[in-house]
Amino acid sequence: AQTVTQSQPEMSVQEAETVTLSCTYDTSESDYYLFWYKQPPSRQMILVIRQEAYKQQNATENRFSVNFQKAAKSFSLKISDSQLGDAAMYFCAYRVDQTGANNLFFGTGTRLTVIP
Amino acid sequence: ETGVTQTPRHLVMGMTNKKSLKCEQHLGHNAMYWYKQSAKKPLELMFVYSLEERVENNSVPSRFSPECPNSSHLFLHLHTLQPEDSALYLCASSHYRDSSYEQYFGPGTRLTVT
């Protein structure tokens, strides 16, 4: 069974500082996708960043980057130069790479607070 | 209107009521999903529809009944719910045949069962 674990229910960061959110997952598959989704208060969940397991290079999207450690099954999210708008719930998610089934497995989320 | 929309945004219903949640996507996707989001629990996938056919039902109680009349619309019919069914219900859509595509989520319906 695929499971995703986010061990930090809550995190806080000072504005303009850097914060890292952790995520580990359990799978026997070799090809899969990993995602970080952001859910601001009372707003829609949106994709922050995506990583293909077959790519060794860590994905980056502006101030967001990941540290993907395939052997350790670890997928952490680093937010640089944190902004007030980064305050949200962050969910790590996993999906097997196969056509057809497109089911995402989510972690329990990390609530990020940004302190002005 | 673009993206994934859901109505109503908030719903309070008694255990004997019948209500429906509606989801609409304007992204040209061919797969739609219902998720249940409860506090401190992972999002739970309830139903998956591809090309208007149900492809997965993760052992959801029969008091939840989905309907997908076309690729743009998805409903969740509710009847005789329990208080533990109170949660945020999220709809999502994606391209079904390409696993690299992300899912796009709606804003959710906050359901309270009294």
Name residue A36's amino acid: W
Structure tokens at B57: 């039902």
Number of C-beta neighbours around residue B89 at 10 A:
22
Please report the pLDDT score of residue B1 as a whole number.
Answer: 52
Q: Is B11 on the interface with A (CB under 8 A)?
A: no
Could you give the CA distance from residue A114 to residue B29 in angstroms, rounded to a whole number?
35
Nearest CA in chain B to A51: B100
Please report the pLDDT score of residue A104 as a whole number.
Answer: 84
Please report the pLDDT score of residue A100 as a whole number.
Answer: 54
Please report the pLDDT score of residue A83 as a whole number.
Answer: 97
Could you give the CA distance from residue B70 to residue A72 in angstroms, rounded to a whole number?
42
Q: Taking CB atoms and an 8 Å cutoff, what residues of chain A touch B47? A: none
Residue of B34, B53, B103 to mutate, interface with A, max A Cβ within 10 Å: B103
Report the candidate in B18, B92, B14, B29 with the shortest Cα–Cα distance to residue A103. Answer: B92
Please report the pLDDT score of residue A31 as a whole number.
Answer: 83
Bridge partners (DSSP) of residue A94 are A34, A105
Structure tokens at A94: 């996993």
Q: C-alpha dihedral over A90, A43, B53, B26, to 10 degrees?
A: -130
Q: Is B107 on the interface with A (CB under 8 A)?
A: yes
Tell me: pLDDT of A20 over 70: yes
Residues A88-106: what's their mean pLDDT? 80
Residues A77-91: what's their mean pLDDT? 97
Tell me: pLDDT of B4 over 80: yes
Please report the pLDDT score of residue A29 as a whole number.
Answer: 84
CB distance A45 to B90 below 8 Å: yes
Supply φ then ψ for residue B98, to 5 degrees. -125, 105
- Residues 6 or more apart whose CB falls under 8 angstroms from that of A55 comprise none
Please report the pLDDT score of residue B53 as a whole number.
Answer: 80
Confidence of residue B33 (pLDDT cuts 50, 70, 90): very high
Please report the pLDDT score of residue B58 as a whole number.
Answer: 73
Residues A16-31: what's their mean pLDDT? 93
User: Which residue would you say has higher pLDDT here, B55 or B80?
Assistant: B80
Residues A36-42: what's their mean pLDDT? 92
Q: Is A98 on the interface with B (CB under 8 A)?
A: yes
Residues B32-47: what's their mean pLDDT? 91
Q: Could you read off the pLDDT of B63-104 as tens digits, one per residue?
A: 999 999 999 999 999 999 999 999 999 999 988 766 567 889
Please report the pLDDT score of residue A39 as a whole number.
Answer: 95
Supply φ then ψ for residue A84, to 5 degrees. -55, -35
Task: Supply the mean pLDDT for chain A.
Answer: 91
Tell me: pLDDT of B2 over 90: no
Structure tokens at A46: 């949106």
Residues A65-78: what's their mean pLDDT? 96
